[in-house]
Amino acid sequence: MRKVKLLWGIIVLLSAICMVLVRMTMVQTAVPEVRPEDNGGSSNIVVATVGNKKISLKMLEEQVYQKYGTEMLGRMLDHLSIQLEADERKLQVEDAEIAEELLRMQAGYESEEQFYQSMQEQVGMTRKELREDVYFKLLVEKAATSDIVVGDNEVSAYIDDNPDEFTQKREFHIQMILNESLEQANRTYELAFEGADFTTLAKERSLDTNTASEGGDLGWIEEHDPFLPINMLEKAKVMKPGDISKPIETSEGYVVIKLVDQVQEEPQDPEELQNNVRKQLALQKAPPIKDYIFSLRQKWKAMINVPSLKEGIAPPN
């Protein structure tokens, strides 16, 4: 689940950066109207000072334009090209589809609120901006696959050939205390078994610098997480929420874990499963999305009229 967070952070980071320029162009409408005779026009509004040095709105806009202008223009070209193609093909993205995709993106986060807060803090994207990003992602996928046919036999064959992809996955919420020796780990287990608060014990006794200050909290972990010891995950599978394990040997020492909670995926609706597989197979047959978006730019005759932007224009995201 930690990998899911990182992946989505990377995916939306460029989008967030590209939005900076749009926000900056809104500054002039956000600040009070300034008469030219007062300070030479709104572009000369002083937005910050350092000592006796001033930073004007114009200076700030120029810096943002130079740094993010090509990325923002590239993003706008992408979105307009996608929308034109979708309109021609009479393709739409329903609110329910966006909600479903956003829900999928939230995998690995403890709550919806934590997900949106993380997106805001880490990459500066609001709910509205994230929703827009998802909208165009789904729309371009529909456009790219609209002429591709995937037969029922292909869908059934894929499901039969890849059973592991469709098993109900389990996730564990685990706390962990890492000790150097078995003797220390046994003492940790005794204290926890006798009723000592596990979070407090982790802060006092755990050697794991990444989690000790958080009470040993690893968050939600997939049952096949490749970054955790297999014997530790196997132990978690046979525990019940609230259980505390005896010491488990790892390459870094001995760990005592507490299973805080566990969840298992609900069986997927057969029709929904087939639709998801059909979409996946169609995307595999389609050209890479990046190449497809570039072809849309060409089809809709995207033109850049500013030489400096044309020279450094960003390729499709």
Q: Examine the domain organization and report whether 22 and 140 are in the same domain.
A: yes
Q: Examine the domain organization and report whether 11 and 109 are in the same domain.
A: yes
The Cα 266–Cα 169 span in angstroms is 9
Give domain status of residue 202, yes or no. Answer: yes
Tally the domains of the chain. Answer: 2
Q: Examine the domain organization and report whether 67 and 20 are in the same domain.
A: yes
In tens, the pLDDT along 156-195 reads 999 999 998 888 889 999 999 999 999 999 999 999 999 9
**Domain carrying residue 241:** 169-264
Q: What is the mean pLDDT of the chain?
A: 86
Name the nearest CA neighbour of 11 among 136, 98, 197, 111: 136
The kind and range of the H/E element at 38 are: helix 36-39
Q: Examine the domain organization and report whether 233 and 130 are in the same domain.
A: no
Q: Examine the domain organization and report whether 230 and 295 are in the same domain.
A: no
Q: Examine the domain organization and report whether 202 and 290 are in the same domain.
A: no
Give domain status of residue 164, yes or no. Answer: no
Q: Examine the domain organization and report whether 189 and 305 are in the same domain.
A: no
In tens, the pLDDT along 232-273 reads 999 999 999 999 999 999 999 999 999 999 998 888 889 999
Q: Examine the domain organization and report whether 99 and 9 are in the same domain.
A: yes
Task: Name the residue with tokens 């807060």.
Answer: 117
Q: Examine the domain organization and report whether 292 and 260 are in the same domain.
A: no
- Quick one: 201 exposed, middle or buried, by C-beta within 10 A (0-12, 13-18, 19+)? buried
Q: Exposed e or buried b for every residue in 243-256, given b needs 16+ CB within 10 A?
A: ebbebbeeeebbbb
DSSP 84-147: HHHHHHT----HHHHHHHHHHHTTTSSSHHHHHHHHHHHH---HHHHHHHHHHHHHHHHHHHTT
Q: pLDDT confidence of 56, banded at 50, 70, 90?
A: very high
The secondary structure of residue 241, as a DSSP letter, is: T
In sequence order, the 6+-apart residues with CB closer than 8 A to the CB of 270 are: none
pLDDT at 248 (0 to 100): 98
Q: Examine the domain organization and report whether 123 and 41 are in the same domain.
A: yes
Give domain status of residue 49, yes or no. Answer: yes
Residue 190's CATH number: 3.10.50.40
Q: pLDDT confidence of 41, banded at 50, 70, 90?
A: low
Give domain status of residue 269, yes or no. Answer: no
Q: Examine the domain organization and report whether 6 and 144 are in the same domain.
A: yes
Give domain status of residue 218, yes or no. Answer: yes
The Cα 207–Cα 255 span in angstroms is 10
Q: Examine the domain organization and report whether 31 and 100 are in the same domain.
A: yes
Cβ proximity of 191 and 200 under 8 Å: no
Task: Name the residue with tokens 């299973």.
Answer: 259
Using left for φ > 0, alpha for ψ between -120 and 50, and beta otherwise, residue 48 falls in beta
Give domain status of residue 295, yes or no. Answer: yes
